[in-house]
Structure formats: structure tokens, C-alpha cells
Amino acid sequence: MPSESKEKLNPFHIAQQQLDEAAEVLKLDAGMHELLRWPIRELTVTLPVKMDDGTTKVFRGFRVQYNDARGPTKGGLRFHPDETIDTVRALAAWMTWKCAVVDIPLGGSKGGIICNPKEMSQGELERLSRAYIRQVGRIIGLEMDVPAPDVYTNPQIMAWMADEFAFLKGYNEFGVITGKPIPMGGSAGRGDATARGGIFTLREAGKVLGIDLKGATTAIQGYGNAGSFGHALGDELLGLKIVAVSDSRGGIYTEDGLDCEKVVAHKKKTGSVIGFPGAKDITNEELLELDVTVLMPAALENVITAENAENIKAKISVELANGPTTPEADQILHKNGVYVIPDFLCNAGGVTVSYFEMVQNAYDYYWPLDLVHERLDAKMTAAFHTVHDAAQKHKAHNRLAAYLVAVERVAEVVRLRGWA
């Protein structure tokens, strides 16, 4: 994340500002608008964890349930040293709009724990995960609020959490959490769903823009779940030529294109993509400004800001990350004709397959992989075109268009329920 500049970079203030813009276009009445600006419920927890050296370390965690008008709240859980209540609030708001834009019957939520998982052992991570569920367990459940993986959390962590929840309840309720390992109630296709959904929206963008994506040069910022599968599937499904990728330590570039399997193996061995044989090391900042057709921000929030937006040369920005672009940057990209596939549309594949996982858990009957892919494709393609059409109709940039679609869907149910 760039250092704080004149532009306001508090993600929750950004989320509220984005909503305010949509509320004005939709002419939402004041009560409705105010209700949608705030989380419905928040829980802050304090988690004592026995560390391997025998000491007790106390961690802080959050769970924010933003809006449950359309169904149980849904959203991932991040383990990150820079987590704050405001990042979690923003991410919970974006989950609300994300579930609405792909039209799945869920509200939005998010969780976070302030910790550095890179410095913790597996045993410490397990005890932290279980401690979180002992506190947050009272407000989650298949019909209430369902966590999932996000930055620095994974299927093993989901398995520990589902197990701890089973002890709280006295029986297995695997649908309390998604992104679980497949033998423990996970869904086929959940692992790469975020990137796969994003690649489906990129495919559709290529069609409406008349851009041939086969061989299109691509740079990927971030090499976690979303970024690394974005590399693999961008190559496999669309034939993109991925010339640059990066992680928190830096990036690599080669005009001949990077082989995904080899980069993944290198990162596994060395801990980073940097130093990849035959490629040139570059910075994350340089990667974002490369002269490529496709840019995929796939790491954290606030990477495309007022400071660097003028220098973005990509034709399409595929936002696999949550919140990568600030409102000022959005205006600049729009003015410069960069086609942005906004985060809560672009990366909604993850929560869409999480929803499929909840459905499968609820009736204890599991779908084959090709059915998951087919249903995911249908959801993402429909959502993409709804947003693209709204952008044309309102002469708005795609993020505002996505807000118009999503906020109207949530507001409609809030009205029907008589809340505002």
C-alpha cells in the first residue's frame, strides 16, 4: 500500500463515498441511504493464544455483519498485521454489494484478525483459529453468517474452524464456513473460483470491447490464491500472455511470457516470485504501469490511486483484489478509457461457489466439477452484462454501474421488509 497522500485512503470512507455517489443517482431517500452506509452489527474480540515458547499472546479480531436484508451474511476472514475495524467494515460493505450484483440470496460480512501468519507456526495458527471461533461462534452459522478464506487464510484454517464450531454446537454443521477441504464438506471448484469468475468476466469484456485476448499481454499484481490462479486460468482459458507477476516482495518481467507452473514452483521453493530465472526483477509500482493489454490487481486495497492512475497503460483492469482502486483513480481511469471490471463484480466467483458450497452442505449432496463451472459461468456472465448495460444506460463508469445494480437490489428488499 502506498503511504497516506492527500487523497483519503481509509477503505471504509471510500466504501461510504462510493455508496453516496450511487445513492444520489438512485435518488435513495435519506433514511435508506443512512442505513446502507453502516454495518448492522459488529463484534470485536480479544483472543489469548498459547504460543510455542510457552508465553500467551493476545490478539484482536473482528467480525462485521454489514447487511442481512437479502439473506444470511457472507464474507471471508483475513489474517493480516495491518487489519483494522475500518478495513473489515469496508470489506463487509463490498461483500453486501458483491452478493447482490451476482444475485445470490446472501448479505455481506467480513472478519479479520490482526496477526502476522508468516511469523506463526501451524500449531499457533490452529490455536488462534479455534480461539476466534470460541468468541465469534455465537454470531455465525449456516443461517446467520458464514465465513470463508481471504488474504492469508486457507482451507486448513477453515477446517479447524468448522471443527471448533462442531464442538460448540455438539454436532457437525459444516455449512457454517465455506472454502473447506473437499473431504470435509468443501465444494469442487471452490479453490480457483475467484480467479475463474474473474477470467469469465474478462472474456465477456473482450467481446464487448472487440479486443482479442489470445496472446494479450498481461501483468498480475499479487500472487496468492487469486493472482496465481489468475495466471493459470488466464493462460488456460483465454490464452493470455502473462509477462509480469509480483508478490509482497516485488515482481518479475519477461516479454516472452511466464510459465505458471514454474513460477509457482519457484515461489514455493524460495518464498517469493522474485529472482525467477530468465526474468528481470521489477517493483510492484513498475508492474502496475507496464504497457500491457490486461492488468490484474490481485493483492490488497489502494494500489491504483490519484498518484499513479495517469500512468496506467492497460486497456482492461481485472480487479481480483478487493478495493484496489481509489475513487479519484476511478475518475482518471474512466477519463483515459481504461475499462475497469470492478472488484465486487470481478472477484464474485469466490463467494458464488461459496454459496454453492452452502447449498450442497444444506442438502448434503455434492455436485460434479463441471456443473460448478457451468453454474459459475452463468452467474458471472449474467452479472457482467447487467453491469455493462447499466454503465451504457447511465453513462457511468463500471464501478458506479455495479453499485447502481447492487444497491438497488438491496434497497428493494429493505423496502419490502419495511426497514426504511
- Enumerate the active-site residues: 110
Asked whether position 67 contacts ligand GLU by CB under 6 A, the answer is no
| N-term to C-term CA, the chain | 37
Q: Which of 101, 351, 407, 411: binder of ligand GLU (CB under 6 A)?
A: 351
Site for ligand GLU in 77-106 (CB under 6 A): 98
CB of 98 to ligand GLU, least distance (A): 6
Asked whether position 178 contacts ligand GLU by CB under 6 A, the answer is yes
Asked whether position 111 contacts ligand GLU by CB under 6 A, the answer is no
Single out the segment in contact with ligand GLU by CB under 6 A; choices: 44-52, 56-64, 262-270, 344-352: 344-352
Number of Cβ within 10 Å of residue 280's Cβ equals 12
CB of 108 to ligand GLU, least distance (A): 9
Please state, in angstroms and rounded to a whole number, the distance separating the CA atoms of residues 92 and 110.
5
252 neighbors 277 (Cβ within 8 angstroms): no
Q: Smaller CB distance to ligand GLU: residue 229 or 276?
A: 229
Single out the segment in contact with ligand GLU by CB under 6 A; choices: 253-261, 292-300, 331-339, 345-353: 345-353
CB of 350 to ligand GLU, least distance (A): 4
Give the HSE-up count for residue 245: Cα atoms under 13 Å, Cβ half-sphere.
30
Q: Which of 150, 247, 319, 330: binder of ligand GLU (CB under 6 A)?
A: 150
Q: Smaller CB distance to ligand GLU: residue 76 or 251?
A: 76
Pairing of strands 77-79, 145-146: unpaired
Q: Dihedral through CA 173, CA 345, CA 222, CA 195, nearest 10?
A: 60
Asked whether position 72 contacts ligand GLU by CB under 6 A, the answer is no
Q: Smaller CB distance to ligand GLU: residue 293 or 354?
A: 354
Asked whether position 379 contacts ligand GLU by CB under 6 A, the answer is no
Q: Which of 11, 39, 75, 323: binder of ligand GLU (CB under 6 A)?
A: 75
Find the residue with minimal CB distance to ligand GLU. 76
Please state, in angstroms and rounded to a whole number, the distance separating the CA atoms of residues 44 and 47.
10
Per-residue 3-state assignment (H helix, E strand, C coil) for 201-261: HHHHHHHHHCCCCCCCEEEEECCCHHHHHHHHHHHHHHCCEEEEEEECCEEEECCCCCCHH
DSSP lists the bridge partners of residue 40 as none
Q: Which amino acid is at 408?
A: E
244 neighbors 280 (Cβ within 8 angstroms): no
DSSP 112-169: EE---GGGS-HHHHHHHHHHHHHHHGGG-BTTTEE--B-TT--HHHHHHHHHHHHHHH
Which residues does 131 contact at the CB level (< 8 Å), separation at least 6? 47, 48, 49, 59
Asked whether position 191 contacts ligand GLU by CB under 6 A, the answer is no
Asked whether position 76 contacts ligand GLU by CB under 6 A, the answer is yes
How many residues interact with ligand GLU (rule CB under 6 A)?
12
Please state, in angstroms and rounded to a whole number, the distance separating the CA atoms of residues 417 and 107.
14
CB of 169 to ligand GLU, least distance (A): 20
Q: Which of 350, 399, 402, 406: binder of ligand GLU (CB under 6 A)?
A: 350
Single out the segment in contact with ligand GLU by CB under 6 A; choices: 58-66, 73-81, 133-141, 279-287: 73-81
- For 320, the 3-state DSSP assignment is coil
Please state, in angstroms and rounded to a whole number, the distance separating the CA atoms of residues 176 and 158.
10
Asked whether position 299 contacts ligand GLU by CB under 6 A, the answer is no
User: Per-residue x/- marks for ligand GLU, 306-325, CB under 6 A?
Assistant: ----------------x---
Q: Which of 33, 63, 70, 74: binder of ligand GLU (CB under 6 A)?
A: 74
Asked whether position 298 contacts ligand GLU by CB under 6 A, the answer is no
Give the torsion sign (CA, 302, 305, 311, 312).
positive
Please state, in angstroms and rounded to a whole number, the distance separating the CA atoms of residues 304 and 9.
11
Asked whether position 148 contacts ligand GLU by CB under 6 A, the answer is yes
Asked whether position 39 contacts ligand GLU by CB under 6 A, the answer is no
CB of 102 to ligand GLU, least distance (A): 10
Q: Smaller CB distance to ligand GLU: residue 76 or 189?
A: 76
Contact footprint for ligand GLU (CB under 6 A): 74-76, 98, 148, 150, 178, 322, 347, 350-351, 354
